[in-house]
Amino acid sequence: MTELTLFEKIVAREIPADIVFEDELCIAFRDIAPQAPLHVLLCPKVPLKMLSETVDGDGELLGHLFLTAPRVARLLGYNDGFRVVVNNGADAGQTVFHLHLHILAGRTFAWPPG
Ligand code: 5GP
């Protein structure tokens, strides 16, 4: 049997997390090593590995994630000043291979990112 991803274990409550939002398709919880006053990870409940492995059939879910990101930010008090990041692949800094959106807010962000 395939080992559950770290984030599937959070969905299943096998490991604890500070969950701030959940619906039938996705879950959002605070990052364990926050890079901003608000740093939440928004994940699909199904284990998509990374953005570049998504297919046309994932469109509805991807749309849902991007519609949910501003709602989660708003829920936590950040209406427009937030950043959404997806690290795709190890070279881009992805360390957990279960697709997730980083939602960051509460400080000024530099561009280009590091
Ligand atoms: P990535 O580097 O894959 O884009 O992002 C993975 C994120 O998951 C990192 O920001 C890291 O701090 C976070 N993370 C890793 N392990 C855990 C954990 O056990 N719990 C939570 N809440 N976040 C984690």
Reply yes or no: is the peptide bond before residue 44 cis, omega within 30 of 0: no
Q: Which atom of ligand 1 lies closest to the CA of 97?
A: 3
Q: Which residues contact 32 (CB under 8 A, 6 or more apart)?
A: 17
Q: Are residues 35 and 104 in contact, defined by beta-carbon separation less than 8 angstroms? A: yes
What was the pLDDT predicted at 102?
98
Low-confidence ranges of the chain (pLDDT < 50): none
Which of 32, 87, 100, 104 has the most ligand 1 atoms within 8 A of CB, as the residue to mutate?
32
The CA 31 to ligand 1 mean position distance, Å, reads: 6
Question: For ligand 1, which residues put their CB under 6 angstroms from it?
Answer: 6, 17, 29, 31-33, 41, 87, 93-96
What was the pLDDT predicted at 17?
98
Question: Of these residues, 39, 98, 100, 102, which one is catalytic?
Answer: 100
Q: Are residues 43 and 99 in contact, defined by beta-carbon separation less than 8 angstroms? A: yes
What was the pLDDT predicted at 1?
64
Q: Which atom of ligand 1 lies closest to the CA of 33?
A: 12
Look up the pTM and report it.
0.97
What was the pLDDT predicted at 12?
97
Token pair listed for 70: 């501003």
CA-to-CA distance for 86 and 18, rounded, in angstroms?
A: 20
